[in-house]
Amino acid sequence: MSETILLSGANGKTGRAILNKLVGLKQTVKVFIRDREQWPALKAMGASGFAVGDMHDADLVESAVMGCDKVIHVGPPMHADEKTMTENFIAAAKKHGVRHFIYYSVMHPLRREVRHHSLKLDTEEALIESGLAYTILQPIRYMQHLLPIWQKVLDEGVHAMPFNTEVHFSVVDLEDLAEATAIVAAEGGHEYATYELAGPQGLNQQDMAAIISEVVGRPVTAQAITLEQVAANARAKGFDEDRVEQMLVMNRHYDHCGFIGNPNVLSWILGRVPNSYQQFVERLWAEQASS
């Protein structure tokens, strides 16, 4: 009999990537979404069922979890109620006998200066102490943070990020993270594990700009964006002041400390070396050429 996986946050960029990989592994996936209008597109991707609700609503969460064998919980980014919302899924999972709860966290949640990390750490603690069979996935910064500025990089020859150009990041391809998440959900033997998931290289902005320059065949330079400009850009996108402030705290911290991890665990789960930044940029460039 086929098992059913409930995937929360399914309509976000991370959720969609995970859904695609789960479907590729022939998994039966029920998606938890905020708006029923999101369902047709996810159904077209291969989702088998859906539940509509707000993660704050414990009753709706319980109804969604009912009948599911596993849960992959991807919370909304940088949300102040991360722990409370996840606890709703944990409680429902315990009540309905979910056999495996997979929580999509962040690498180095112990960086408590950054609330996004601190909330993940508190949530990990709640899950570990719940009694559920769990896996905690701790991804590092995505290579996909290049996507919002990709066209500007091509047009202006400037790779601009909100931290200094010399601090290093072990950026990782979301496609690899999604594949690893799907493997953990589809296979047995990953219960009670916490996995740090980093890309294969520690790169600074100058390194990234050099790689982009090599791939596209034109000069690209690295530039640091001021935190004032970060705030202005975030407000222009409609972010509330709480999220703006948390973005500033996070980027200030990364500017000082960087974000470096080890790729060994991700390599082991995938059974191969994770995608390099150059492979990622080459994929973007090929898509650009074919569009």
For residue range 137-173, what is the model confidence (pLDDT) as tens digits?
999 999 999 999 999 999 999 999 998 999 999 999 9
Report which of 148, 164, 181 is spatially closest to residue 223, judged by C-alpha positions. Answer: 164
Domain ranges across the chain: 4-140+173-198+261-275
| pLDDT at residue 246 in the model | 86
Residue pointed to by tokens 């991700």: 266
Mean pLDDT of 36-46: 98
Rounded distance, CA 256 to CA 164, Å? 8
Contacts of 206 (CB under 8 A, 6+ apart): 165, 166, 222
Mean pLDDT of 259-285: 98
Structure tokens at 284: 């973007």
The pLDDT of residue 1 is above 70: no
Rounded distance, CA 89 to CA 93, Å? 6
Output b/e per residue, 221-235; b: 16+ Cβ within 10 A.
bbebeebeebbeebe
φ and ψ at residue 232, rounded to 5 degrees: -65, -40
**Cα three-residue angle 178-50-90, rounded to 5 degrees:** 70
CA 235 to chain centre: 22
- DSSP code string of 117-134: HHHHHHHHHHHHTT-S-E
Rounded distance, CA 31 to CA 65, Å? 10
- For residue 146, which amino acid is it? L
| pLDDT at residue 77 in the model | 80
Structure tokens at 242: 């709480």
**Which CATH number describes the domain made up of 4-140+173-198+261-275?**
3.40.50.720
Q: Which residues are registered as beta bridge partners of 223?
A: 160
Express each pLDDT in 48-62 by its tens digit. Answer: 999 999 999 999 999
Averaged pLDDT score across all residues of the chain: 95
Mean pLDDT of 246-261: 91
Mean pLDDT of 229-236: 88
* 234 — pLDDT class (breaks 50, 70, 90): confident
| pLDDT at residue 289 in the model | 83
Percentage of residues in the chain with pLDDT exceeding 90?
A: 84
Q: What is the number of H-type helices and E-type strands within the chain? A: 12, 9
